[in-house]
Chains A and B, each alone.
Chain A
């Protein structure tokens, strides 16, 4: 069964950095684009970032709210996608979900909570 498992969340002070990881199981990781979404407490869903697979040159896209601060990457040999988050702000507080695909994300992880607070 396809599974995505996120890790790396936690409590972090504003201005600091954090790296999230998403490991995929039971599918050929390198065949798929991977994305990150987030959901602030009690709020709706927001797309954060996307990385294409090698066939599409690992092209990346970012939401305006995180562009220049967040970097998405992938290591297909380990079946892991990463989200490097720098210069964190209190408004980045959310559950971060990793998904397979972006045009129609079919599998979602359980999410990892990032709390940015002093």
Chain B
């Protein structure tokens, strides 16, 4: 199985400051079809997960442009350019290139 190493575990951030979350899969996420199936999800307290980014760098409709995804192969990053109060929650990376689908352990974003 592909192990998704996500860091940090906890990320205290000052409002208005940037934040970055790293996700490192144990093998390349480039599929034989040429796509990279790396997604980022946000889970606010008490809510279902919400997809923010798909195929590593494509922002979902309705997701604020302060969220961006980058990376390739075995090194991916989710960035929040200026953290707002509504960004509090747990963020997960997920790969769906290889079976089984696997997730990172999650990063808890909180306001300092």
| Chain A partners chain B | yes
- Chain B residues near A46 (CB-CB < 8 A): 103
- Chain A residues near B54 (CB-CB < 8 A): 104, 106
Given contacts A45-B103, A61-B99, contact A105 B37 (CB under 8 A): no
- Chain B residues near A110 (CB-CB < 8 A): 48
- Asked if A47 and B51 make an inter-chain contact with CB atoms under 8 angstroms apart, the answer reads no
- Asked if A105 and B51 make an inter-chain contact with CB atoms under 8 angstroms apart, the answer reads yes
Per DSSP, chain B at the interface is loop
Given contacts A104-B39, A104-B54, contact A45 B60 (CB under 8 A): no
Q: Give the number of chain A interface residues (Cβ < 8 Å).
A: 20
Q: Give the number of chain B interface residues (Cβ < 8 Å).
A: 24
Q: Is B71 an interface residue (CB 8 A)?
A: no
28 A-B pairs with CB atoms under 8 Å apart are: A44-B92, A44-B104, A44-B106, A45-B49, A45-B103, A46-B103, A47-B100, A47-B101, A47-B102, A47-B103, A61-B99, A61-B100, A63-B100, A64-B100, A97-B49, A102-B101, A103-B37, A103-B96, A103-B97, A104-B51, A104-B54, A105-B51, A106-B51, A106-B60, A108-B50, A108-B51, A109-B48, A111-B48
